[in-house]
Structure 1
Amino acid sequence: MYLYSPWECVQMGRPLIDFVEYSHEELMGMLLEQQGMTFKFKKIEGRFIHTFCAGQLLAKIGLTPQEVVGSQLKDFLHEDYAAEKEAYYNEAWQGKEDVSYEGELLGVTYVASLRPIRREGEVVEVIASCVDITERRKSERELRETKELLESLYESSVDGICIMDTEGKVIRINHAFEKIYGWSEAELIGKKAPMFPAHLEKRMEEICWHLQSVKKGIHLETVRSRKDGETIHVFMTLAPIRDADDHIIALTGITRDISERKKMEDFYRKADKLNAVGQLAAGLAHEIRNPLTSLRGFLQIMQSGRVDKGEYYDIMLSEIDRINSIVNEFLLIAKPSQSKFQKNDLVRILHGVVTLLETQAALNNIKIVTEIEDAFPLVECSDMEIKQVFVNILKNAIEAMPGGGIVTICACVKKEMARIRFVDQGVGIGENQFARLGEPFFTTKEKGTGLGLMMCYKIIGDHKGEININSAVQVGTTFEIMLPLSSSVSPEA
């Protein structure tokens, strides 16, 4: 039978019974197609009997309307499970509004909401709607597990973690942070984080802007003070915490105490310097002995009065200047110094190193040739550290050529970088040794320590430069040092 819509009934003057039938059919269709489930029950002779049940959730939990309608809970559910749910049925039948409970059948989690239907003030039936919340519970469980995992990582991390607002005030810290700096969480909440150097504390707005625009964290190596006044070296990473709209709502600072690493680096640096000084001493003694012998001879001749003294003055002064130059270069290498970055003339440093080592080279039948580009620019660097690098690499080149040859030192500018190349004609380095170059105590020399090249990598890395090595066995090795011309080295705070 065709069912007319309410509008058609009004237009055609048909009885409203057609409208009622239309509405009933439409409602039943909606209930059958709903994602959840709707059911009703009455209390008959002390038993809760289901009078209606429809919805796609019904099939998901393994039931049919025929099994539910006209039956009690215990007729189609396990007795204990049915008794648990029947308690909620009873609450709703007693007139309690908004009774709800969760259930799970065949891996499907659902929530049921019961509401009493009253007639003349008395409850005559209870209607219930059920919603499938399986995916929501799965998401909540995964979220909870993720949170627990992150919480575990947060608390067990050996690095200090500090969460702060965009003004740099502490929201939360972990145990490692307390251990590194000495302050407890209670002492720091709401206060400025002690991890920031003074020059950054008042630049939080600028820092947030940088993090928002660059989308990368900030890395900083600095020196900070603990609560007890002890100074520590730390490596800090500052990263943003964003909301759903990608706006920065907080910051996280991760601190690693690198004091022990700094001590070891200082130890290696000093050990390498002592090793270099010891090896240079023998060559310097020979170099200084030659002009001293000449001076002694000239003085003996002058003392005898057999010649005009004046003709030897220039020669003697030249020999004395030679000794003074060698001793000065030796002292610059040997004495302790603080790293200080400033504009330096790499050509001057190179010539000083060549002066220092040319005697050792000559004793090994090695010639040092320099090829330097005109108008070579100044480079921001540590004079002493770069000198140490040049000495180590030139010494390696000389020692790699027991049969003599030529060491060529080239200096030029390429792509805003100062490029210094040391090219020898030595024994070369095998491919199987390349991967370990720069490791402490790994060396290709019989009496080497391996500290020299390791410190070269460390120093050039601190200067934001790089070292490239090319070598072929029995052909030679090229060490290329690249240093930035622009000021990209940030001094420690």
Structure 2
Amino acid sequence: MSLKTRLRLLIVGLALALVATLSLLNLYSLASAKFEDLAERATSTTLQVQTLLVQHLNRRASAVQPAASGPLAPRQWAELIRQDEELPRLLADMLASSRTIIEIQILDESGEVLASSNPARAGQPARKVQSLVAWSSQGAWRQLREVLRGGEDFAVVLPVGTGEQPLFRIRVLYSTVLVRSTLEPAISRLATAAFFSLLAAAALAVLASNLAFRPLARVSQAIDRIAQGEMLVPRQPEKREPEEITALENKLQVLGQQFRGARQDALELRGNVEQLLERLEEAVLLFDREDHLIMAGRAAENLLGRGRWEMLGRHLSELFPPSTELGAAIVSAVGLRHPLRDLPIGIKVDGGNIRQVQVNVEFLESYPARERLGTFVSLRDADTRRQISTQLDVSARLAAISRLTGGVAHEIKNPLNAIALHLEVLRARLEGQDPETEREIDLIASEITRLDRVVKTFLDFTRPVELNFTLFDARELAGEVTRLVEPEAAGKGIDVTIDVASAPLPLRADRDLIKQALLNVVVNAVEAMPNGGRLEISVQISGGECIVRISDQGPGIPAEIRDKIFQLYFTTKGKGSGIGLAMTFRVVQLHGGTIDFTSEVGRGTTFWIRLPLAERPLAVKEMHT
């Protein structure tokens, strides 16, 4: 998760906690006030009902028995209430004036309903409900929970009688469901306020994160200059400049000097190694940590009977089969990580003659973890005693350069997050104030994006690539690549032809990486013919391999730069990045394949990409996926 996303989540989380706390406090206060008011209203309403009923019943009693005859007995009162036909309507009229009362009942001493606002209840035992006093003593949270879930109703009971002996009881039932309906508008307003507060917090989080992560143009320019090997010129920090920016620029200056020196050393070392390998009489081969060949001397061509470009990218077991004495010794030494020194072995050369060679296997390791970075293999005549300690030292320094490149990329990327954070803060503060400044800030944003791609490129070439192997037909992949470049080729007057084998060519490889590798070569071919020409793409099978041939009629590649075209960042185009062919070379190597080319100045260039075919043939369904 990016730092920008974390900042947004932190702000929203804090706002959510604050809004939730305030909402709960407001809800508690609201509920407490509502329930206290409800208790007072319930008691007051019940007293009003008692007064009206007593007046009505006294009138009825006076009509039935004159005052001279004495007071009515409890049984007479009960009978009078049962026979009063107007009483249920009166109770119903009283019920209609309240929003929370569901029923008004008159009960005798035994709990039987004598009269009710619901006539169907008359004559039935009164159902048990909790009293208002018990309900009010539960506390506001429990009362609120019961109201929201529609819990048990509660009642207010008032006795009616003379002296200590009640004649009957008036019970008013209150519904928690109806109480909830009175609370819902206030809760709805509270929820709406909380919702808009959260929306405001989310908007604040976006604005704050955008403001904090605004990129810096000169940081991007400094990193670009470092990548190009230029020297950074120290400058005086501006007023009110954040300390993080000043610290980063100072660190970039130090890293730039280190990287520039390391790059110059690497170029010098590479040139010396190439010259040394050309002059060595012994065959020298350098393998990476995955046991793929990355460098070989000219003597290896004569000894192994293959061209260097053909061998590059091949696995160690392909160049030295374990079935032979030489292959068994080398593969066993690599597997056990046991170096070999001057091991005499006889190998067959042209004509079937046996040549005695001395085999040396050394391992390049990181310090102090002692992880294997590569394997150094040398084959020399038994009579030759030339030492190769300098070559081992060169290989170790090249490995150190690779680690330094990865370190530079990480050192740049780590403080970049802090810079972007403060830059986005600056964007929010200046938003809407100065359109010219906003355009400059947008330019900085685009530059930081490109800067991120540069850093990722550094990291991609210093860490292993995880391949996603799938089974597909190379013919279909070549067709897709052809269709992608046809519009651009047609605009330049280029005639594109494709020739594929009649039988399926199954490849088990990372389809996206292979597609990108082919596309890099084809796009270069199209760009090499701005005035039109002919582009030929051929996909065939030969010796258990899929061979992709890409030929153009461009200006060709000069002889003096042919050994550099697969180098990272090497380009002859004004707007080129120098990544395409380097990436293609690496992708082909990772799949156990090889890439080679021939070129004639003024006539064009032809690339050959060889990839091992999959052992299992493609099914009909897989051919069309």
Same fold, TM exceeding 0.5? no
TM superposition score normalised by structure 2: 0.27
Higher RCO (C-alpha under 8 Å, 6+ residues apart)? 2
Q: Computing the radius of gyration over CA atoms, which structure comes out larger, 1 or 2? A: 2
Larger relative strand fraction: 1
TM superposition score normalised by structure 1: 0.34
